[in-house]
Structure 1
């Protein structure tokens, strides 16, 4: 028997895994996905957090995404998308593109730029995605400087507490996860404070803890929660997007934090990443490598910590 532990929740992924010929004959147990879990795993839950932070923390309303629910048919869905695309804040973010996101979060999957001056073919493809997934969100495409996350944990009594800062990298397109920067928590905190100030950071953590505690009050979820943020440049100033995505799982940022605590000592620095290795390969100097599973004598996936 194998218990599925998904990195991101999407119904079609669960279906594909449960029916995959490669896994035929194996008793697969799908993860317990409650209504509360799905609600918080959906990107729209982060919109609720963002609205709360705009109200209580004074962040700009231009950060809010515009959600488009599927229409009765392709034509109606295209009409709804046209209205939403016209409504995305002008004068904010990229002048040529906006960002379109799928409903469920998963380390940069389902996040893609979409031209402001789009063709009918562009719109038809987007409408097809909306019909297939039920909804998409559209927001300005910001000039991201650094990607961050704040890691929390929810205990068995429903208390949400801050755990760690996470600074991560993305691939050249600026969306999919590429690895974590390993630094001490003191160094990471000082780095973020340098851009937004100590008071703003303390307020943000307190507001996020309050929101998560209230939003999950009826949930049985117990475990880690990651909230992605980013620093972006707008009109020559560095600003903070305080809530890009909520992840109810043991995130890469949390794993990177635990790896630093176990393998490195301040002021050591490094990089944490997950690699796919179909065959055994020699590792570079100053590299700590460990398999993510002991289920097979052949290690296909491994985590690597490279010291700076």
Structure 2
């Protein structure tokens, strides 16, 4: 029996829309089409991968393999033999035993329900709505509240009225206001008391309160470094730590991940704070997540973190900026990272008429 895998990078925008018949923005559709081969990096032998167009996806994978064969050899990575499909002639593919999308949302459920696969493999729409509610940024705020300690920083508040927002902006002077559901830094804006007086900015908040019923407000933190921890919530309700993700962003948009062993990544982070503090937070997260997520969510997830500098120049750890209840580019990077040695590389998504996955020294 095989897994039925697919890359739906428009997932978070689809969650925000909450529409069954959701049409992704052009960039999301292009990303899905150009990088639809990504599941091959975590698939197992004989798995099925759903793509928009089989020929173009296989060509894109061939281009990647031609360009990056040196790294796969260095990292001792071997890709499985998989079955590609565009959803037609499903009678010709192996019968799947499970479905593994990038992330679950009403739109991907609708897409999969129209394909000739066993509908018993699909979660119910009620279950999809429960996953969507857990993907609300309030879940990250709830986890954050359980991770306090020495050298730890971070607060987040859910506001359902403009008055609540105004009070927090007046209290903290400089804040980040976030939509409950948004994608890759979109739906996140900095605010000060003066900016809150600007009609277009206030309207943006009012629209979010109307459309998504609340907003999240967080004090502004002076970020020094982004990173993440990747996990998997197992079927028996346990949390399995998968590894660190050291990534780069450009104005909140993802640009690339470091490919290296866990040891090399831990050494890099230890320039900011002790690995013991890192391990303590990892253990706390593994202990706290089951009560927040079970029995609703099973599968891969990532927790974005950051190193911040306080007003006295001290470095602190913000242990939960976001929870991504989906597979992440950090998981992809882990699939392509070596398990031993000191070799490092950078995995990047670049755009030149088409999106491409690149690995460079």
TM-score by length of 2: 0.64
Which residue is 1:141 aligned to?
220
Q: Give the alignment partner of residue 233 of structure 2, picking from 151, 154, 174.
A: 154
Q: Give the alignment partner of residue 44 of structure 1, picking from 126, 130, 138.
A: 138
Q: Give the distance between the partners of 1:134 and 1:16, measured in 2 at CA.
A: 22
Q: Give the distance between the partners of 1:170 and 1:16, measured in 2 at CA.
A: 31
Secondary structure class of the residue paired with 2:270 = helix
Cα contact 2:259–2:345 (8 A) shared by 1: yes
Cα contact 2:165–2:217 (8 A) shared by 1: no
Secondary structure class of the residue paired with 1:106 = coil
Which residue is 1:289 aligned to?
none
Count of aligned positions: 261
Q: Give the distance between the partners of 1:236 and 1:186, measured in 2 at CA.
A: 27
Change (3 A) 1:249 1:196: same
Q: Give the distance between the partners of 2:24 and 2:286, measured in 1 at CA.
A: 39
Change (3 A) 1:13 1:277: farther
Cα contact 1:272–1:304 (8 A) shared by 2: yes
Cα contact 2:151–2:316 (8 A) shared by 1: no
Change (3 A) 1:206 1:236: same
Q: Give the distance between the partners of 1:195 and 1:177, measured in 2 at CA.
A: 22
Secondary structure class of the residue paired with 2:147 = helix
Deviation, 1:19, is 9.3
Which residue is 2:165 aligned to?
81
Q: Does residue 1:253 correspond to 2:330, yes or no?
A: yes
Change (3 A) 1:145 1:160: same
Deviation, 1:301, is 3.3
Deviation, 1:85, is 1.7
Q: Give the distance between the partners of 2:220 and 2:24, measured in 1 at CA.
A: 37
Which residue is 1:10 aligned to?
15
Q: Does residue 1:112 correspond to 2:185, yes or no?
A: no
- Structure with the larger RCO, 1 or 2 (CA within 8 Å, 6+ apart): 2
Q: Give the alignment partner of residue 285 of structure 2, picking from 204, 208, 214.
A: 208
Q: Give the distance between the partners of 2:262 and 2:236, measured in 1 at CA.
A: 26
Which residue is 1:293 aligned to?
none
Deviation, 1:133, is 2.1
Which residue is 1:225 aligned to?
301
Show the 5 A alignment for 1:1-308. Answer: 5=8, 6-8=10-12, 9-12=14-17, 14-15=19-20, 17=22, 28-29=111-112, 32=123, 34-54=128-148, 57-58=149-150, 63-69=154-160, 77-88=161-172, 97-118=174-195, 119-121=197-199, 122-171=201-250, 173=251, 175-219=252-296, 221-234=297-310, 235-261=312-338, 266-278=341-353, 300-307=354-361
Root-mean-square deviation (Å): 3.0
Cα contact 1:108–1:176 (8 A) shared by 2: yes
Change (3 A) 1:226 1:105: farther
Cα contact 2:259–2:338 (8 A) shared by 1: no
Secondary structure class of the residue paired with 1:104 = coil
Change (3 A) 1:102 1:260: same
Secondary structure class of the residue paired with 1:80 = helix
Unaligned runs of 5+ in 2: 30-51, 53-86, 88-109, 114-121
What is the CA deviation profile of residues 26-78 of structure 1, one whole-angstrom value per residue up to 9, with x for unaligned ones?
A: 98237855344123211100111001112xx3465x62112211xxxxxxx43
Unaligned runs of 5+ in 1: 70-76, 91-96, 279-299
Q: Give the distance between the partners of 1:201 and 1:3, measured in 2 at CA.
A: 32
Change (3 A) 1:269 1:7: farther
Q: Give the distance between the partners of 1:18 and 1:108, measured in 2 at CA.
A: 20
